[in-house]
């Protein structure tokens, strides 16, 4: 992997009257192949697979941590793999459960933006790492998508769940609600391809799916562990557009697969699914990760899997004692809130909690058939 390119910060812009650096990238910076899991290494110590994007994000994130801008320090978390076939990655993160901002009182997946509640226009400028700017755009992306979001900020999550936890926020002044858009989805896909780390993940929680703020954003973070979801078996639904259904996994869902050559159309199809959920007031979560080709028998992570779950809505301040069932937990990553549950919960008990937030098999199959009909028509 070529790691010679350095951080490219040019043309500072302004946010709330303060100067903000820009991180510029092109398609040439995408790492389309060769991302595999090592036998064991730590991304903080081993720089051999750190891209320019990783270098920019991690160095600035660590600066913010040293400056005390987070609600609690996070350098490493106690981590273990739960015994069982799913290989849940359990982490003890007590501070997040205590210090995390109280979720807003949301009553609808389509709730309107409320400027009186906390939103990203009210965040501190010091929490911004940089603004992402694509300096060259393919004609297809420009014509088909238009990049309606004029800028996307990369901001620290002040209550981090893992190393490098950031938020990707389209221009906050647009006051967009927490409904996924094709151009933000495209940026999420591009961010995965800009990273040289197999464990850099991107995710989205809808309103009613444990999103705590009704202001459009994605989550991004590093997890130095493999997840079963990267390679789990699948059932083809619309193979001509690389649309599949997860099988042999506790949280059944849908996923798209791409090797980076059709990002615009993939981002649009992802939002066809999430728009279907929004229009029917179905809460949902999304998770992007490097993963294996569902049509291949190899375990090479040569592309990206984008998994989308339909789930029961959770409104108000209701939360589980052990962990909230959102994008991480559905994917197999469990940030535990307390030591007792971290030490005692088994794979069986975790699966029971997760399934209590999901639809019945009959309801899931109905959603599956309707999505297939939508794409085939």
CATH number of 316's domain: 3.30.428.70
Q: How many domains does the chain have?
A: 1
Look up the domain containing 254 and give its range.
13-376
Residue 167 lies in a domain: yes
On whether residue 3 sits in a domain, the answer given is: no
> Is residue 1 a part of any domain in this protein?
no
- C-alpha 101/C-alpha 317 separation (Å) is 11
Is 80 exceeded by the pLDDT of residue 18?
A: no
Which pLDDT does position 9 carry in this prediction? 53
* pTM of the predicted model over 0.75: yes
Torsion angle in degrees (nearest 10) through CA of 22, 154, 163, 353: -160
22: Cβ contacts below 8 Å, ≥ 6 apart = 9, 10, 11, 12, 13, 130, 131, 132, 133
Quick one: how far is CA 13 from the chain centroid?
A: 26
Buried b (16+ CB within 10 A) or exposed e, 275-308: ebbbeeebbbbbbbbbbbbbeeeeeebbbbbbbb
Q: What is the pLDDT of residue 3?
A: 42
- Please name which of 247, 203, 191 lies closest in space to residue 365, comparing C-alpha atoms: 247
Q: Residue range 103-107: average pLDDT?
A: 78
| Average pLDDT score over residue span 153-159 | 97
In a domain, 7, yes or no: no
Strands 333-336, 89-92: parallel, antiparallel or unpaired by DSSP? parallel
- b/e 138-163 (16+ beta carbons within 10 angstroms → b): eeebeeebeeebebbbbbbbbbbbbb
- Residue 329 counted as domain residue: yes
| pLDDT tens digits, one per residue of 272-314 | 999 999 999 999 999 999 999 998 766 677 899 999 999 999 8
How open is the CA angle 36-38-40, to the nearest 5 degrees? 155
pLDDT of 140 strictly over 50? no
pLDDT in tens, 345-361: 999 999 999 999 999 99
Q: Out of 197, 217, 219, 333, which one is annotated catalytic?
A: 217
109 located within any domain:
yes
Q: Is 217 a catalytic residue?
A: yes
Please check the confidence at residue 182 and state whether its pLDDT lies above 60.
Answer: yes
Domain assignment of residue 6, yes or no:
no
Q: Where are the beta strands (DSSP E) in the chain?
A: 13-15, 18-20, 22-25, 78-81, 89-92, 128-134, 152-156, 166-170, 200-205, 218-222, 234-238, 243-246, 254-258, 283-291, 303-311, 333-336
Distance CA 54, CA 43 (A): 10
- Please report whether residue 255 resides in a domain: yes
């Amino acid at each position: 992997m070529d790691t010679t390119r350095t951080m490219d910060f040019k043309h500072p812009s302004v946010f709330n009257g303060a100067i903000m650096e820009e991180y510029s990238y092109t398609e040439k910076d995408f790492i389309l192949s060769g991302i595999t899991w090592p036998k064991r290494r730590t991304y903080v110590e081993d720089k051999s697979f750190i891209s320019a994007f990783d270098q920019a994000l991690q160095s600035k994130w660590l600066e913010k941590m040293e400056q005390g801008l987070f609600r609690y320090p996070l350098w490493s978390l106690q981590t273990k793999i739960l015994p069982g076939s799913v290989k849940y990655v359990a982490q003890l993160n007590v501070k997040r459960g205590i210090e995390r901002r109280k979720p807003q009182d949301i009553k609808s997946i389509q709730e309107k933006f409320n400027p009186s509640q906390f939103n990203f226009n009210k965040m501190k400028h010091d929490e911004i790492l940089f603004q992402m700017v694509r300096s060259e755009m393919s004609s297809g992306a420009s014509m088909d998508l238009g990049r309606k979001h004029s800028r996307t900020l990369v901001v620290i999550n002040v209550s981090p769940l893992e190393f490098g936890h950031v938020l990707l926020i389209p221009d906050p002044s647009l006051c967009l609600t927490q409904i996924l858009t094709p151009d933000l989805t495209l940026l999420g896909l591009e961010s995965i391809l800009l990273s040289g780390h197999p464990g850099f993940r991107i995710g989205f929680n809808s309103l009613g799916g444990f999103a705590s703020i009704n202001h459009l954003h994605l989550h991004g973070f590093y997890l130095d562990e493999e997840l079963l979801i990267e390679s789990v078996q699948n059932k083809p639904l619309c193979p001509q557009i690389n649309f599949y259904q997860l099988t042999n996994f506790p949280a059944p869902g849908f996923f798209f697969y791409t090797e980076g050559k059709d990002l615009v159309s993939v981002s649009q199809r992802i939002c066809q699914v999430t728009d279907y959920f929004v229009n029917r007031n179905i809460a949902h979560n999304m998770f992007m990760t490097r993963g294996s080709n569902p049509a291949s028998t190899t375990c090479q992570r040569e592309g990206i899997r984008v998994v989308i779950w339909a789930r029961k809505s959770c409104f108000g301040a209701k939360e589980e004692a052990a962990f909230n069932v959102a994008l991480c937990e559905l994917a197999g990553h469990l940030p535990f809130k307390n030591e007792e549950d971290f030490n005692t919960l088994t794979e069986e008990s975790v699966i029971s909690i997760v399934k209590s937030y999901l639809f019945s098999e009959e309801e899931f199959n109905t959603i599956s058939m309707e999505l297939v009909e939508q794409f085939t028509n």
